[in-house]
A and B are shown apart, each in its own frame.
Chain A
C-alpha cells in the first residue's frame, strides 16, 4: 500500500499543467480490488438459491457498479472534461432505452406467435 502511495506521489510531480490530472497506481489498485469483490458477489448471487427471486435487480446493480467504476477511474471520466462523459452517457441512455423498448415489444409479440 505504501508503495502505491509513493507512486501516486511521484506522478503528481510529473503532472503537466495542460494534462488532466490522472489518478495514480494506488487508486487503480483499490478500484481493481472493488471490481474483484463485486464480481465475487455476483457469482455468489448466482449460486445462492435463496436469492433467486431478486437475482435480476441485484445483478443489475452489481454490474452497474462495476461499469461505473471502470468508466470513472480506469477510463478517467471522473477526471476528464464533461464533454467526454456526455459523449458516453447519452448513447448509453439511448441504448438502454432501445433495449427496454425492444424487450417490451417482443414480450407483447410472444403472445401472437404462430
Chain B
C-alpha cells in the first residue's frame, strides 16, 4: 500500500508542477507571461532549464521506483543479495551525463547574462532615475524634469534604462511581468535595461527585505503608447494652479491648511513647498495609488492615511498631524485636486 502511495505521490507532484507552469499565466505579478524583451529572454531560459530538470527528475524517479519497488526484495523474503559495490561504467555515465546537461544549460545562460546587461544603454533609450526610499519609490525623468512617486510611466517599444539608487538601505526593484529584479544598493548605481512590448499596468514590489514595512513598498509600472506617454509627461510638467487662483472654496481652504502645516517640510508641491524627503505631491491627484502603492488613491484613503499613517504602514516616517473634520476634508480635497 505504502509503496504505491509513495510512487503516486511523486508522480502527482511532477504532474502538478508541469501543469502549474502552463496555467495561471495572467496573474498580475506572474513571471510566466513576460511583457518585455528581458522578461522573455529569462522566461525562455527558464523553460529550457525546466525541461532539462524534468528529464533528470524523470530519470531519478524511474531509477528510484525501479530500485525500491521492482529490483529489490524485502528483508527475509529471499537470500541476502550479492553485493555489487561499484560499477565503473555506470559511475562514468552518471558523471558525464549531468556534465553534458550542464553544458547545455550554461551556454544559453552565459549568452543571456551578457545580452541582458549591456554596458552602454541602447540608442534612443529613455533614462529614468529610480530612487528607493524606506518604503516608497521615487521616479525622476532627467529629460522632462518630471518627478513622481510609486507609479512609473514608460512608453511601449522603446528601450528603458533605469539608474537605480537608494537613499537609505538596500531595496530591490522588481516588476515580475517586465523581467528580473535588480537590487537598489545605497552608494552604488545599478542599471536595468529592458524594452516593454505590451501596453498595460504591471504591479511591482520591493524584493529585498528593507525593514518594518518592506511588505508595503509596492509600485506600478504603466506601459503606455507613445502618445499616451507624451500626454502624461505634459500633464506632469504643468505647473499647478496658483493658490490664490483656486476657485473651489474647500480646495482653497485645503491649500491653506497644507501651506501652514508641517507637510511642507517633507513634501514638495511645485510653487508651494520645497520638501524633498517624502513623495512629491505636485501631481498627486493624477496617481491611481498612494502610500507606497498599498491602496487606491481615494479621498477616504487619503483621509485615513493623514489621520494615522503608522496604522497603514508600520514604521512610516510621516507623523500623524492631528487634523480632523473640515480641515482634514479640505486638505484631502486640495490634494486630490492636484492633477
A and B, direct touch (CB closer than 8 Å): yes
Q: Which 9 A-B pairs have the closest CB atoms?
A: A114-B189, A114-B187, A112-B189, A112-B188, A114-B165, A114-B188, A113-B188, A113-B187, A109-B188
A–B complex contacts, Cβ < 8 Å, 9 sampled:
A109-B188, A112-B188, A112-B189, A113-B187, A113-B188, A114-B165, A114-B187, A114-B188, A114-B189
Chain A residues near B298: list those with CB within 8 A.
none
Contact code string B166-191 (vs A, CB < 8 Å = 1, else 0): 00000000000000000000111110
Chain A residues near B187: list those with CB within 8 A.
113-114
Query: Contact residues of B with A, CB < 8 Å?
Result: 165, 186-190
Assembly CA distance A112 to B131 (angstroms): 15
Chain A residues near B186: list those with CB within 8 A.
114
User: How many contacting A-B pairs (Cβ < 8 A)?
Assistant: 12
Question: What's the minimum C-beta distance from B190 to chain A, rounded to whole angstroms?
Answer: 7
Contact code string A101-114 (vs B, CB < 8 Å = 1, else 0): 00000000100111
Question: What's the minimum C-beta distance from B127 to chain A, rounded to whole angstroms?
Answer: 16
Assembly CA distance A56 to B54 (angstroms): 51
Assembly CA distance A112 to B187 (angstroms): 9
Chain B residues near A109: list those with CB within 8 A.
188
Chain B residues near A112: list those with CB within 8 A.
188-190
Assembly CA distance A109 to B188 (angstroms): 8
The A81-114 residues at the B interface (CB cut-off 8 A) are 109, 112-114
Assembly CA distance A110 to B190 (angstroms): 12
Chain A residues near B189: list those with CB within 8 A.
112-114
Assembly CA distance A112 to B184 (angstroms): 12
Assembly CA distance A112 to B164 (angstroms): 11
Question: What's the minimum C-beta distance from A107 to chain B, rounded to whole angstroms?
Answer: 14
Assembly CA distance A109 to B187 (angstroms): 11
Assembly CA distance A113 to B189 (angstroms): 6
Known: A112-B189, A113-B189, A114-B188. 5 other contacts (CB 8 A): A109-B188, A112-B188, A114-B165, A114-B186, A114-B187
The A63-96 residues at the B interface (CB cut-off 8 A) are none
Chain A residues near B165: list those with CB within 8 A.
114
Chain B residues near A113: list those with CB within 8 A.
187-189
Question: What's the minimum C-beta distance from B185 to chain A, rounded to whole angstroms?
Answer: 9
Chain A, Cβ-Cβ closest to B186: A114
Question: What's the minimum C-beta distance from A60 to chain B, rounded to whole angstroms?
Answer: 30
Assembly CA distance A92 to B189 (angstroms): 34
Kindly name the residue among A109, A112, A113, A114 whose own CB sees the greatest number of chain B CB atoms within 10 A. A114
Assembly CA distance A109 to B189 (angstroms): 9
Chain A, Cβ-Cβ closest to B190: A112
Question: What's the minimum C-beta distance from B74 to chain A, rounded to whole angstroms?
Answer: 44
Chain B residues near A114: list those with CB within 8 A.
165, 186-189
Assembly CA distance A16 to B190 (angstroms): 65
Question: What's the minimum C-beta distance from B23 to chain A, rounded to whole angstroms?
Answer: 40
Chain A, Cβ-Cβ closest to B166: A114
